[in-house]
């Protein structure tokens, strides 16, 4: 619910000093919002902790810029969700105007935080992809273009909400103010749709980008499909963005009733948080591969069953290793336990490879 909703209360003969009426439909959708977003927040937290655990403990406290951005994006996402939560009234009835004004203030701040959160999450995804194909100039230009576009949108969205939308800023949520002005409803509609276009575009580009190099991975087909699914979760975020764009158009329809506008406002917030949390899941998804692969292995499903030695000892793309290292006579095992260690450098390469060969029934190396 926004400042514009108060303008639709005239037909209900309600005084602002009495309170703001919350219809039953809006209250029911608010309960759905709390249940769905809380569940998704739990999943985001779980995947985020798995990713950080792998980066900090499993890889010897090695953390990159993509990890810094995912930490910032996750934290801002939780704050955005927490700021929006008080604005949802779970039961129909009157809400004191002062209470509703306080809720709207938090909601307005959450709009700016949402843009920065989305930017941090998508920058993290782009930097993760950059680590895989760092040497390709066209690949770097492509990813940095996405980073630049998303960063520009996140910054401009924050400036619009804090500086341009209403002057003074309090006019955005305090309907009792008689001084100050806000931009027109049509301007807000245009800005909202522009943001939807940017987010849908970057979601699609980042979701389909992994297909450019996964097709060249010398890995079993089932494993490549599994990785594509994990990294393609951004497509679900695109779906929420499209649904939100439809709701925005409906929300600003002059013919919409007050009751319906409040319900649509709840749906808008729901789609916004679903988009945000789905993007967070997509950013953390690649780190879940080993964990999910191990879980599937316990029930007899193997994603890495292959006769290729490369399938056991690392990832090989276009004549170069992207998941292993031959440096200094050592070898990094990424996908299997070898000599009692996983994801660690193996000192005695020959002995370890012979052990793997014996386990697979291959002839002993000369």
- Helices 258-284 & 24-53, crossing angle to 10 degrees? 10
Q: What is the predicted pLDDT for the residue at 58? A: 64
Q: What is the predicted pLDDT for the residue at 215? A: 64
Pairing of strands 166-167, 181-182: antiparallel
Q: Does residue 168 have a cis bond before it (omega within 30 degrees)?
A: yes
Q: What is the predicted pLDDT for the residue at 231? A: 65
Which structure tokens are listed for 184? Answer: 């027109």
Measured in whole angstroms, the distance separating CA 335 from the mean position of its chain's CA atoms is 26
CB 343 within 8 A of CB 55: no
Q: What is the predicted pLDDT for the residue at 224? A: 64
Distance CA 366, CA 262 (A): 75
Q: What is the 3-state secondary structure (H, E, C) of the chain?
A: CCHHHHCCCHHHCCCCCCCEEECHHHHHHHHHHHHHHHHHHHHHHHHHHHHHHHHHHHCCCCCCHHHHHHHHHHHHHHHHHHHHHHHCCCCCEEECHHHHHHHHHHHHHHHHHHHHHHHHHHHHHHHHHHHHCCCCHHHHHHHHHHHHHHHHHHHHHHHHHHHHCEECHHHHCCCCCCCCEECCHHHHHHHHHHHHHHHHHHHHHHHHCCHHHHCCECCCHHHHHHHHHHHCCHHHHHHHHHHHHHHHHHHCCCCCCHHHHHHHHHHHHHHHHHHHHHHHHHHHHHHHHHHHHHHHHHCCCCCCCCCCHHHHHCCEECCEECCCCCHHHCEECCCCCECCECCCEECCHHHHHHHHHHHCCCCCCC
Instruction: List the chain residues with pLDDT less than 70.
Output: 1-17, 58-61, 213-228, 230-232, 287-366
Q: What is the predicted pLDDT for the residue at 289? A: 61
Burial class (CB in 10 A: 0-12, 13-18, 19+), 9: middle
Measured in whole angstroms, the distance separating CA 343 from the mean position of its chain's CA atoms is 27
CATH fold of 3-293, please? Rhopdopsin 7-helix transmembrane proteins (1.20.1070)
Q: What is the predicted pLDDT for the residue at 237? A: 86
Assign residue 318 a region (left: φ > 0; alpha: ψ between -120 and 50; beta: otherwise): left
Q: What is the predicted pLDDT for the residue at 319? A: 37
Q: What is the predicted pLDDT for the residue at 99? A: 85
In the chain, domain spans: 3-293, 307-359
Distance CA 108, CA 325 (A): 49
Q: What is the predicted pLDDT for the residue at 98? A: 84
């Amino acid at each position: 619910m926004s400042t514009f909703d108060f303008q639709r209360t005239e037909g209900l003969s309600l005084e602002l000093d009495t309170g703001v009426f919350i219809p039953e439909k809006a209250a029911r959708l608010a309960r759905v919002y709390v249940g769905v977003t809380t569940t998704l927040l739990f999943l985001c937290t779980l995947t985020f902790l798995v990713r950080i655990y792998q980066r900090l403990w499993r890889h010897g406290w090695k953390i990159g810029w993509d990890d810094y951005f995912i930490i910032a994006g996750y934290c801002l996402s939780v704050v955005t969700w927490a700021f929006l939560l008080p604005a949802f009234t779970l039961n129909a009835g009157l809400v004191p105007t002062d209470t509703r004004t306080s809720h709207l203030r938090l909601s307005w701040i959450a709009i700016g935080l949402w843009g920065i959160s989305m930017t941090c999450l998508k920058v993290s995804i782009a930097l993760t992809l950059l680590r895989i194909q760092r040497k390709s100039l066209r690949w770097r230009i492509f990813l940095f273009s996405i980073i630049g576009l998303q960063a520009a949108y996140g910054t401009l969205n924050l400036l619009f909400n804090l500086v341009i939308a209403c002057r003074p800023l309090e006019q955005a949520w305090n309907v009792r103010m008689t001084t100050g002005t806000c931009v027109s409803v049509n301007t807000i509609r245009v800005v909202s749709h522009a943001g939807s276009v940017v987010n849908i575009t970057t979601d699609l580009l980042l979701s389909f980008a992994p297909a450019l190099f996964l097709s060249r991975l010398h890995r079993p087909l089932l494993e490549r499909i599994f990785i594509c699914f994990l990294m393609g979760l951004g497509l679900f975020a695109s779906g929420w963005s499209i649904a939100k764009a439809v709701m925005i158009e409906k929300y600003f329809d002059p013919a919409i009733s007050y009751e319906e506008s409040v319900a649509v406002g709840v749906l808008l917030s729901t789609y916004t948080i679903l988009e945000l949390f789905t993007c967070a899941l997509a950013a953390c998804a690649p780190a879940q591969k080993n964990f999910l692969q191990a879980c599937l292995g316990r029930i007899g499903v193997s994603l890495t069953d292959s006769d290729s030695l490369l399938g056991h000892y690392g990832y090989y793309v276009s004549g170069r290793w992207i998941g292993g290292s031959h440096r200094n006579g050592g070898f990094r095992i990424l996908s299997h336990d070898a000599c009692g260690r996983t994801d660690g450098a193996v000192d005695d390469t020959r002995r370890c490879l012979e052990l793997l060969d014996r386990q697979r029934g291959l002839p002993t190396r000369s």
